[in-house]
Amino acid sequence: MYLDKTSIVIVDDHSIVIEGLKSLLDGDPLDVLGHFTSGNEACDFIERERPDLVLLDINLPDVSGIDLCRKIKAMAPETKVLVLSNHNERNIIMQTLQNGANGYMLKNISKQGLLQGISAVMAGEIHFCNEIGGIISKPTKYELGDPPYLTKREKQILRMVADGETTQEIASRLNVSPLTIETHRRNLHHKFQVKNVAELIMVANKHQLL
């Protein structure tokens, strides 16, 4: 490995995307050390090889890319993490940044955009592609904050509500009092700050909890 080359690891569950990135990147000042379709394999390799940069997808089969980002930063703080994702939701972008990502770009990026992003990140900047910059700077009233923390029981009941089950039906399926389910439902409404089921299901969907 030459000192003047930037060593790169690619993590993406689509081998087509990995091929595309390799063919776009593996050249002059860049060196693709390895590529992985699952988070855990990638984790071991990154800990050993300490690459300069990880190109990371959010949707992985085993662990969330957001968690993997935090792990990488804990193991190898000097390794830069540039997230490449299809998600343009504000809360997902924010979560990656809070977990140490050095940049976030959408996958419909051009070759130039990608190379610019990589050099920006390697120069120590936090870098976004244009669309993402716009999303971060204008938090609209329809954008989401952090998803609320839900207990196991609440998640379970949320799913049953989403399946169209009534309070009574849920209660008898879980062998508890309907009054208990009503309490859980009220707590869900408070946590999501909504006032009825329709809104509840909408925001739970936006938070990808269903």
Contacts of 67 (CB under 8 A, 6+ apart): 39, 99
Nearer to DNA, 123 or 198 (CB): 198
- For 89, the 3-state DSSP assignment is coil
CA dist., res. 210 & res. 205, Å (int)? 6
Cα end-to-end span (Å), the chain: 45
Among 70, 80, 127, 185, binds DNA (CB under 7 A): 185
Q: Are the C-beta atoms of 13 and 59 separated by less than 8 Å? A: yes
Contact partner, 189, from DNA, a second copy, none, Cβ < 5-8 Å per class: DNA
Nearer to DNA, 104 or 192 (CB): 192
Nearer to DNA, 110 or 183 (CB): 183
Name 83's bridge partners. Answer: 56, 104
Among 89, 162, 182, 206, binds DNA (CB under 7 A): 182
Among 15, 23, 130, 166, binds DNA (CB under 7 A): 166
Neighbours of 158 (CB within 10 A): 21
Nearer to a second copy, 76 or 157 (CB): 157
Residue type at 153?
R
Q: What is the smallest separation between the CB atom of 162 and a second copy, expressed in angstroms? A: 5
Nearer to a second copy, 8 or 84 (CB): 84
Query: DSSP assignment, residue 204?
Result: H
Q: What is the smallest separation between the CB atom of 209 and DNA, expressed in angstroms? A: 15
* Site for a second copy, rule CB under 8 A: 13-24, 37, 84, 107-111, 114, 161-164, 166, 194-202, 205, 210
CA dist., res. 91 & res. 97, Å (int)? 10
Neighbours of 108 (CB within 10 A): 9
Which residues of the shown chain bind DNA in the complex (CB under 7 A)? 149, 151-154, 161, 166-168, 174, 176-177, 179-180, 182-186, 189, 195-198, 200
